[in-house]
Every structure is written in C-alpha cells, then in structure tokens.
C-alpha cells in the first residue's frame, strides 16, 4: 500500500478552499426487501434470503414495497424536502459481481424527495453554530449483495485467492440522501461532515425507519471532496458574487463511523492539496477508506451519470403519492432532534457546556436511556462522559461499541446509590462488563466487590489503623478531626477500597473523641 504525500491541514487551508458533498445510504427496517417478499434481516446464513426476483432470474417481476415508499417520504419530510407528486424508478446499468441483475433499480432524474435541508449544530468559539446543509435529493433504490475476498492480507480483492458472494443483502430497501455542495466550511469542514452524518443518523433513528447501525452497514456515508484555489478578498473589497468553480472531486466510499467521516475529509483535503500544490491534477475516482491506517487508496475511475445509461424501469409503475397521504405522514413525524435536545437539556438541568460535551461524545441517546432506566441525570452523564468515553478513546472505538448498555450503567449506579459500591469499585464492575463477565450483580458477586458495612470487620480494621498510626490518633484526640482522613485512607487500603468510608469515619471518631 503506497503512502501519499500530504500537506499539513493548515497549509492546505492557506492555499485552497474545500467543497464537500455527502451521500448517505440508509437501509430501511422493512420486513421484506424492496421489490420482493424475501426477509430483510441482518446476519442470515449466506444466500438463504433470496428468490428469483432479487437474484434477477428471467421472468421474475418486481413489486414495490409500500412501507419503503412511506419511509422514504417520512425521511424526505423530516429533511424539509418537497415530495414528488409523481416519480419513477430507473435502471442504473453497471457490472458488479455482487449485483445479480447487472443493473440496480434506483431513481435518477425523478426522485421521491428533493430540495430540502438539515440544520446542523457544531461547536463555535462563542457557543453553538448552525450550518445549513442543503439536500439535493433523497431517492429510493435497492442495496447490492456483499463480496468476501478470501486469501489476501487486507480482505480486499487485490491479492485474494478467490471471492465469495452473498446475495442476502441484494434488494434490501435503501434511501440515498445526497447533499448539495457544502461550501465555505474551510477549517470546520471535517467537523461539519461528522456533525451532519451524526445528526442525520439521529434523525433517522428518531423516525424509526432504520436502526442506522454504522457497524452493520445499515447507514454508510460516501464522502465527496474537491479543492479549488483559495479565493482571497482584499480588505474592504466586495465579496465575489459569481458561483465558485469546483475542483475535480474524489468519492471515498462506505465510510462506516462518525470518527472516520471526519478523518476521511481531513485526509483527502491534505492529499488533494499536496497534489495540486505540486502541479499535479486530481483523478476523478472512488477511494477506499482504511480505518486501521487512516488513509484512502485508489478504487476505480469515477463514472458520471451518463456512463450508467439510466432509463425508466419498464417493470414498475410510477409512484404517485396523494397529497392527503403526504400530509398524513407529515403528522406522524416525531419531535425533531434539535427540539428534543433543547427539551432534554432543560429537563436534566445541564449547562450549555455539559449538553454540548454530551452531544459531542455521541452519548446523548445513551444518557437518555440511562436516565430512563432509573439513574439521575448527572450520574448518567458522569459515567458515559468520563469512564466510558475514556475507555472508548483508549480502544479507538465509538462509545456505543464498548458492550456496556444504558441498563448496565443504571444498574451500577443503583448499587452505588444503595451503598453497595463506591465509584472505585464501580469502575471494576465496568471492567467486568466490557470483558463479558455477566450482569453488574453477577460481577460484584464473582469479584467480591461489595462494600463492607459490617461493624465487626470495620471496627477491627479501624483498631489496626489506630495502632499503626499513633501520631495521627493523638491529633484526633486533641480535636484535629480533619486528621481522620489519614486513618480512613489506611482502613480503605487494608480493605482493598471496599470499606464503607462514611461508617469508618464514624467509628474512628467514636473511638478517639
């Protein structure tokens, strides 16, 4: 794998302006596939969820999934899009081994939803900033199958001995959401891209149309990026009003984590800048993102729309949703995420900074579920933003990928509230949860972590600490009660942090004052 020459991020911004476009594919959670009755579930045995229609066998006829159409319209409405009164499917012709029909049933010039926007919140120097990301279209299509390349070192086709194809995913309903070019974000471009995908994912989950799990590929982002020479405007001169000339773009495919979206934008900005600064030109191509190394590599030359030879799908009738249906669906939209965040902040009593940090850590939903499971807001926030966020950062994972659930966190906090654990012991319970050792109660029992409140055991440990620290004991007898902290520390050390510190203090003062 070759290593690209890069300019620093700062150098790239001195010379060039970035333009981004994001294409997000969302797998819908319908029971069946887009055009047939095969189950649309994740994780089945290879090639067991297929039929003549999704395998593209001769004579098989597709039928549109009405639930998928409804979900597409709800997504479009939530993104402030116009909903088409009449739209058609089209055949997108290309050969991939994991597309059994040799064409993809998609939408081209007549999408079901178009001309929308999503207001995205990012951190600013003086508080939250709102970036309006314009949506060009949200259209319906079907997913491809999945190729598995065997025998190589990277899991990619280059160097593999052979390839296997699983068609279970072929025909799964997809909505592709395409932005218009995002201009003017400059140094904030990686952050805006990450925030857009994060808040779009949040919206999709709120709508209930997909589980939007990036780790399973049910939501994936393609990152389009180009650079153009920086437009420098002299002080006092009017800003140019002409439409900016965009550079040649690359498309980094199937980026499957929020952190990777940010990193991919940053990397491509630096790579493009180095090529252009050296007098080279950018090849319009798809790129592969490598999570382990944080780089992109060349995929294939990027085709334009004309190359796909789109034409109307002859086997499907047009989709013409009535205005009554559209308005009925508009009435089903849930509380939008930005509105919900404002309400939750007020209900929980979080400051702007606390709420911003919670959102930035990707922990808002986790905190909300933990509170719903019985934990106090500040306790839920404490565990997710300190303990869990630290562990996720150390392991290079998303905070939701640690294997600790909101119910687990609430259960651990309940043990702390009951006096059965302290924070130090609770951290050991989280070690056990991540290691898969069972429930919090099972881990406390198997590791022997419960706090000791028995006066007999505590009294013996206090007597030992007094005997071993006579000078400290004399200070307490002389009225210097603050010195009790040293004896409490000695008792906690003796009992491996499992003593009830409040009761230990009471016993010390009872014995010495």
Q: What is the pLDDT, as a whole number, of residue 425?
A: 83
Q: What is the pLDDT, as a whole number, of residue 326?
A: 97
Report the run of H or E that residue 464 belongs to, with start and end: helix 455-468
pTM, whole model, 2 decimals?
A: 0.74
Strand, coil or helix: what is 251? Answer: strand
Q: What is the pLDDT, as a whole number, of residue 347?
A: 95
Q: State the DSSP string of 154-204.
A: SSSSTT-SEEEEE-TTTT-EEEEEEEPPEES-GGGHHHHHHHHHHHHHHHH
Q: State the DSSP string of 277-304.
A: HTT-----EEEEEETTTTEEEEEEEPPP
pLDDT average per 10 residues of sequence, the chain (513 residues): 82 96 96 96 90 93 96 97 96 85 92 96 80 96 90 76 92 96 95 94 93 88 95 60 78 92 97 95 93 89 75 94 96 88 93 86 90 95 92 85 91 87 86 90 81 64 76 77 78 68 71 71
Q: What is the pLDDT, as a whole number, of residue 37?
A: 96
Tell me which residue has tokens 């290691």.
435
Give φ, ψ of 129 to 5 degrees.
Answer: -115, 145
Q: Which two tokens stand for residue 267?
A: 């990397």
CA pair distance 106, 221, nearest whole angstrom: 17
Q: State the DSSP string of 194-247.
A: HHHHHHHHHHHHHHTS----GGGTSEEEEEEEEEEE-----TTSPPP-SPPPP-
CA pair distance 207, 393, nearest whole angstrom: 29
């Amino acid at each position: 794998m070759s290593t690209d020459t890069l300019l620093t991020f700062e150098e790239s911004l001195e010379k060039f302006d970035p333009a981004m476009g994001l294409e997000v594919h969302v797998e819908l959670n319908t029971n069946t596939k887009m055009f047939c009755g095969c189950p649309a579930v994740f994780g089945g045995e290879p090639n067991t969820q297929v039929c003549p229609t999704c395998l593209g066998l001769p004579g098989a006829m597709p039928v549109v999934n009405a639930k998928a159409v409804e979900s597409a319209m709800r997504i479009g409405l939530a993104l402030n899009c116009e909903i088409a009164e009449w739209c058609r499917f089209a055949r997108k012709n290309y050969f991939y081994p994991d597309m059994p029909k040799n064409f993809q049933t998609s939408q081209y010039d007549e999408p079901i939803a178009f001309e929308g926007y999503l207001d995205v919140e990012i951190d600013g120097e003086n508080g939250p900033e709102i970036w309006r990301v314009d949506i060009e279209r949200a259209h319906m299509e079907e997913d491809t199958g999945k190729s598995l390349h065997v025998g190589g070192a990277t899991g990619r086709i280059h160097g593999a001995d052979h390839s296997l194809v699983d068609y279970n995913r072929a025909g799964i309903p997809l909505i592709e959401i395409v932005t218009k070019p995002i201009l003017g974000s400059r140094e904030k471009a990686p952050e805006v891209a990450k925030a857009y995908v994060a808040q779009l994912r949040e919206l999709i989950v709120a709508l209930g149309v997909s589980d939007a799990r990036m780790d399973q590929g049910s939501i994936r982002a393609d990152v389009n990026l180009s650079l153009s020479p920086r437009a420098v405007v002299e002080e006092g001169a009017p800003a140019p009003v002409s439409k900016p000339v965009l550079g040649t773009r690359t498309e980094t495919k199937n980026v499957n984590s929020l952190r990777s979206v940010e990193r991919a934008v940053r990397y491509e900005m630096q790579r493009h800048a180095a090529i252009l600064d050296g007098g080279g030109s950018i090849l319009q191509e798809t790129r592969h993102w490598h999570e382990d190394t944080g780089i992109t590599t060349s995929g294939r030359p990027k085709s334009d729309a004309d190359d796909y030879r789109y034409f109307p799908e002859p086997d499907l009738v047009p989709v013409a949703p009535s205005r009554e249906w559209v308005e009925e669906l508009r009435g089903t939209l849930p509380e939008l995420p930005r509105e919900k965040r404002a309400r939750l902040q007020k209900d929980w009593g979080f400051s702007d900074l606390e709420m911003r940090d919670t959102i930035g850590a990707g922990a808002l939903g986790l905190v909300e579920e933990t509170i719903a499971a019985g934990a106090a807001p500040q306790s839920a926030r404490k565990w997710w933003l300190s303990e869990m966020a630290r562990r996720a950062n150390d392991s290079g994972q998303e905070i939701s990928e640690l294997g600790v659930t909101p119910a687990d966190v609430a259960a651990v906090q309940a043990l702390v509230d009951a006096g059965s654990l302290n924070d130090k012991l609770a951290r050991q319970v989280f070690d056990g949860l991540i290691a898969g050792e069972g429930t919090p109660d099972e881990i406390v029992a198997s590791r022997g972590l419960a706090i000791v409140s028995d006066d007999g055991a505590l009294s013996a440990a206090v007597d030992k600490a007094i005997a071993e620290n006579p000078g400290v004991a004399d200070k307490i007898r002389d009225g210097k009660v603050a010195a009790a902290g040293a004896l409490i520390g000695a008792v906690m050390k003796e009992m491996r942090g499992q003593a009830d510190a409040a009761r230990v203090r009471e016993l010390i003062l009872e014995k010495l004052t």
